[in-house]
Amino acid sequence: MLVQNGVVGDSRVQKEAASAAAAGWEVFLLGRSEKRAETWDLGGAAVRLVPTGRDFDRRRHEVRRPWLRSPFAYPPGPLESYRRKQVQAWNADLAYERARLAAEPNAVASLGLGCRTAAVRAASLWIRARTRLSRRVRERRERASGAVDRAAFRFWKGVLGDRAWRRLDPALWDLELAFGPVIDELAPDLIHANDFQMLGVGARAKLRAAAKGRDVKLVWDAHEFLPGMKPWKDHPWWHAAQVGHEREYAPYADAVVTVAEPLAELLVAEHGLTEPPAIVMNTPDFDGAADPGDGEPVPDLRELCGIEKDTPLMIYSGVPLVQRGIHIMVEALPSLPDVHAALVLSKHHWAYVRSIMARADELGVADRVHLLPHVPHHQVVPFVAGADIGVSPNHHHQNHEISLNTKFFDYSHARLPMVVSDVKTIAATVRATGQGEVFRAEDTEDFIRAVKQVLADPDGYRRAYDERVPLRTWTWKEQARVLTGVYERLIGSPAPRGDRNETEERRQ
């Protein structure tokens, strides 16, 4: 099983790996590490983090000297920094000479010092000018907005088609170079590639195995509809590169799974799939017990926030991305004087998170905004249950419109009244079940209206969970049956434990 992140914050892949192991397969979950290799056990699955470099983060032309674009700019590399430091060293030496001549005056030495000072000033101006040119080159290359960049993009797309990702975003090779040898060594019977970036890694491993006479099945787990996704990176070539990469390798998948029916329909249309993807929703691994049973106590949400049981508390749990609209909770607080907001976020160091907390300071509500770390995925439901409202404030993007997200299911099993934006699928579900209120995305006043409405009658919304919300089908147990059914169709039932001594040795 392959994923391009560090595993820990990805509840879907953790549940998938543990479920496959519980069903009897030997499972290796390979994730990415920026530093060192790590290993641990996850419900019987062996997790390995593979050190993965970023050697190809820069495209080939970005490591070349810009002779045509700006011939006097410094070449990429350490020379620019070295020359700036050199000027500082020269000035330090001139300061020393001035101090020495102040103590021991010498006319000839003073004349020489004046000449040296003039030379250093001239060199400094020249180096400063070249540094400005170098900075402009880097900025233009990052934006890829120049005529040369646009021509290069059109050229590579025209010549290579979907294969143009090799030029447009060679960083995808970093994953191949790190994960490919590990997969080959494990010699799996089935590769489960999560999301679009690992699809190519899995497909190439499948083809290498076939060249050696081994039949390896590839399952592609499409988490999002890539053509409609907001790009992860700002570079204008990145999205086109990922789309081409996905189109090149999608035909090698023996089965496709995804998170929702509308997304499955889009994938069939985009890639001409001969059979519809299996639907494995991002539901929680939760059986209704307050104690998840792992021996670790569930943190007390209100204790972490430092508030009483009767203090109104709304919560957001997830990845802090601008398009998820988390900041609306802070913007609303001045109009909700008794309400607190708990933000259970990964990546507290990201600029968006810092901007949210800075805005809370500006509005004078920082004491009512509580920034909390993630808890393990099996503790999320009982943890968030300590809130009064679960918030899902997504902006309008295609992938937000077509599925029920993980936090929706977490809030549902926590039986939280919800306040959700009017993205299509979630809004339609909430309206149908009555488990919350819908507001217009990015409309703070309408968000405030929805929060007040829920707080006025929270028990009325909670009753929906007894009457209209299908919690029994929104469980991971049901989703795991679908996933293991896909595996069994491709490679049969798992072998008895005693028949797997050879592969067991690879775990060590």
Q: How far apart are CA 443 and CA 423, in angstroms?
A: 13
Strands 28-33 and 38-42: unpaired
**Residue listed under structure tokens 């080159």:** 137
Spatial CA neighbour of 172 closest among 159, 162, 158, 186: 162
Q: How far apart are CA 403 and CA 267, in angstroms?
A: 13
pLDDT digits (tens, 9 = 90+) for 412-466: 999 999 999 999 999 999 999 999 999 999 999 999 999 999 999 999 999 999 9
pLDDT of residue 293: 54
Chain centre to alpha carbon of residue 359: 23
- CA dihedral (431, 435, 436, 441) positive or negative: negative
pLDDT of residue 499: 56
pLDDT of residue 147: 84
Give 30's strand partners: 2, 48
Taking the CA atoms of the chain, what radius of gyration do you get in angstroms? Answer: 28
Angle (nearest 5°) at CA 192 between 426 and 232: 55
Residues 197, 232: contact at Cβ < 8 Å? no
**Half-sphere exposure at residue 387, Cβ-oriented, CA atoms within 13 angstroms:** 32
Share of the chain above pLDDT 90, in %: 82
> Which residues, 6+ apart, have CB-to-CB distance to 13 below 8 Å?
1, 3, 7, 29, 31, 194
pLDDT digits (tens, 9 = 90+) for 202-214: 999 999 999 999 9
pLDDT digits (tens, 9 = 90+) for 149-195: 889 999 999 999 999 999 999 999 999 999 999 999 999 999 999 99
Residue with more model confidence, 142 or 92 = 92
Instruction: Provide the b/e sequence for 142-155 (b: ≥16 CB within 10 Å).
Output: eebeeeebeebbee
In this prediction, residue 505 has a pLDDT band, given cuts at 50, 70 and 90, of low
- CA dihedral (444, 448, 450, 451) positive or negative: positive
Residues 174, 56: contact at Cβ < 8 Å? yes
**Half-sphere exposure at residue 227, Cβ-oriented, CA atoms within 13 angstroms:** 8
Inter-CA distances, 179 with 25, 76, 184, 202, Å: 21, 29, 9, 9
In this prediction, residue 507 has a pLDDT band, given cuts at 50, 70 and 90, of very low
Here the tokens at position 456 are 């006025």
Number of Cβ atoms within 10 Å of the Cβ of 38? 15
pLDDT of residue 419: 98
Q: What share of the chain is helix, strand, coil (3-state, %, to 5)?
A: 55, 15, 35
Chain centre to alpha carbon of residue 167: 23
pLDDT of residue 498: 57
Burial class (CB in 10 A: 0-12, 13-18, 19+), 424: middle
Torsion on CA atoms 359, 360, 363, 369, rounded to nearest 10: 160
pLDDT digits (tens, 9 = 90+) for 294-312: 668 999 999 999 999 999 9
Burial class (CB in 10 A: 0-12, 13-18, 19+), 372: middle
> Which residues, 6+ apart, have CB-to-CB distance to 77 below 8 Å?
none
Strands 45-51 and 38-42: antiparallel
Phi, psi torsion values for 360, nearest 5 degrees: -60, -40
pLDDT above 70 (res 290): no
**Mean pLDDT on 73-102:** 93
pLDDT of residue 193: 98
Amino acid at 246: E
Number of Cβ atoms within 10 Å of the Cβ of 359? 16
Least confident of 57-61, 256-260, 465-469: 57-61
**Mean pLDDT on 273-288:** 91
Spatial CA neighbour of 332 closest among 255, 232, 423, 442: 442
Spatial CA neighbour of 506 closest among 39, 53, 33: 39
Residues 168, 57: contact at Cβ < 8 Å? no
Helix (H, G, I), strand (E, B) or coil at 369: strand
Query: Mean pLDDT over all residues of the chain?
Result: 93
> Which residues, 6+ apart, have CB-to-CB distance to 506 below 8 Å?
185, 186, 187
Inter-CA distances, 376 with 15, 39, 82, Å: 11, 17, 46
Residues 503, 269: contact at Cβ < 8 Å? no
pLDDT of residue 497: 62
pTM of the full predicted structure? 0.85
Q: How far apart are CA 125 and CA 145, in angstroms?
A: 28
In this prediction, residue 362 has a pLDDT band, given cuts at 50, 70 and 90, of very high
pLDDT above 90 (res 139): no
